[in-house]
A and B are shown apart, each in its own frame.
Chain A
Amino acid sequence: MANILIVEDDRDLNNAYSIILNSEGHTVETAFNGEEALRKAKIFSPDLILLDLLMPIMGGLEFLQAYKLIKLHPDVKVLIFTNMENSPEVAEAYRLGAQRCIIKSWTAPHNLARVVNDSLQAPSIPAKKSK
């Protein structure tokens, strides 16, 4: 139903999330770092991005900053994927327009699918202007 871009450097998890979201009927594209994600996002036009923060070459925050600069798809929903909650990085991601934060090690497949579906239906929140 929707185009989802999964940006996650762990191959096992990347693979698992693809299977889960494919089975929900979404069209899935994957990337293993921020740079690859930028390239694919231009062609793929995602409705929602599952974005890991800690990745090699280009991490999640850098990707978000670059993505906002390009202003490709202003309505895209961004869900942060991480194992580091309460971190300044998560706070920064929210400031850059991320909708939600998902803790990978806490989240079972059915909850992941549910959160993705809920987020797709929720209205977009524009990124906060920086002070």
Chain B
Amino acid sequence: MMASSTDSALYDKVVRVTKVYLGPAADRFISRQVQNHLHKPPQELLTSDLVKLIDWIRVSVALLTDDTDLIEEYTARLEQLTVSTPESGKNGP
């Protein structure tokens, strides 16, 4: 099944949020997380994957900074994506 444009938009959104905190390394960081923990290409990231992805992002980022407030802020913004993004699988207009 081909990924609809909604799905790759989710990955891009995750990367955009991450860029604020990790800078230019964000794309590589997130794509590796998706590939290694969800075992799929980054563009196929689904809303239903986000909970697991955020879990792993949280522990990884916890080794890059000890600023727990910052980590909370970052992961909270990622969690917002689970509600604002439409369910995947619906066809685009």
Complex contact flag A–B (Cβ < 8 Å) = no
Which B residues lie at the A interface, using CB under 8 A? none
